[in-house]
């Protein structure tokens, strides 16, 4: 009886540990999407307010990025990954990774959406404001 209780407790602890390390409201990249094309991939909690730089970034993001990466970085099924996702936390994809993706494009490596082409017309300063916007959204969703 004691051994069975210890096994059940160990299984429960492992389950809680796995759950604790999953980012909130996120579908893992290897899990197939069943939503229709263009549907949002994650739910994004908006912060109470955005800094002035993040507001500028939101406007720039909404001009081009939203078409693939969705409203507020929530991703679009079959079109582009969510940027409000643990994969894009600063320790894994630093700000320069975003700068390079916009300037040079990027080969698909975490998701199966295909390669991202360079995005013409954005300066490094524009992208910096977009990054500020994404980082504020990420923090509001527990991604630091």
pTM above 0.85, yes or no: no
Query: Do residues 29 and 75 make contact, with C-beta atoms less than 8 angstroms apart?
Result: no
What does the alpha-carbon distance between residue 42 and residue 22 come to, in Å, rounded to a whole number?
13
The answer to whether the CB of 85 falls within 8 A of the CB of 76 is: no
35-39, 118-122, 127-131: which has the minimum mean pLDDT?
A: 35-39
CA distance 52 to 54: 5
6 pLDDT band (50/70/90 cuts)? Answer: very low
Taking 50 as the threshold, does the pLDDT of residue 24 lie above it?
A: no
* pLDDT: which is higher, 113 or 21: 113
Class of domain 2-140: mainly alpha
pLDDT at 3: 58
pLDDT of 20 reads 39
* Model confidence at 99: pLDDT above 90: yes
- Give the pLDDT of residue 35: 74
Residue 61 in this model has a pLDDT that exceeds 70: yes
- Residue 45, CB half-sphere, CA atoms under 13 Å: how many? 12
Residues 6+ apart with CB under 8 A from 104: 118
User: What are the residue ranges spanned by the domains of the chain?
Assistant: 2-140
């Amino acid at each position: 009886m004691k051994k069975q209780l210890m096994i059940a407790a160990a299984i429960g602890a492992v389950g809680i540990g796995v759950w604790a390390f999953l980012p909130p409201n996120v579908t893992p990249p290897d899990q197939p999407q069943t939503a229709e094309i263009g549907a949002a991939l994650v739910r994004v909690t908006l912060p109470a307010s955005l800094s002035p730089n993040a507001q500028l970034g939101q406007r720039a993001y909404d001009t081009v990025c939203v078409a693939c990466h969705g409203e507020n970085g929530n991703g679009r099924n079959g079109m582009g990954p969510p940027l409000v996702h643990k994969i894009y936390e600063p320790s894994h994809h630093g700000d320069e990774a975003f700068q390079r993706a916009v300037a040079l494009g990027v080969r698909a490596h975490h998701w199966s959406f295909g390669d991202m082409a360079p995005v013409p017309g954005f300066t490094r300063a524009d992208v910096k404001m977009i990054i500020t916007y994404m980082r504020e959204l990420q923090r509001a969703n527990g991604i630091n």
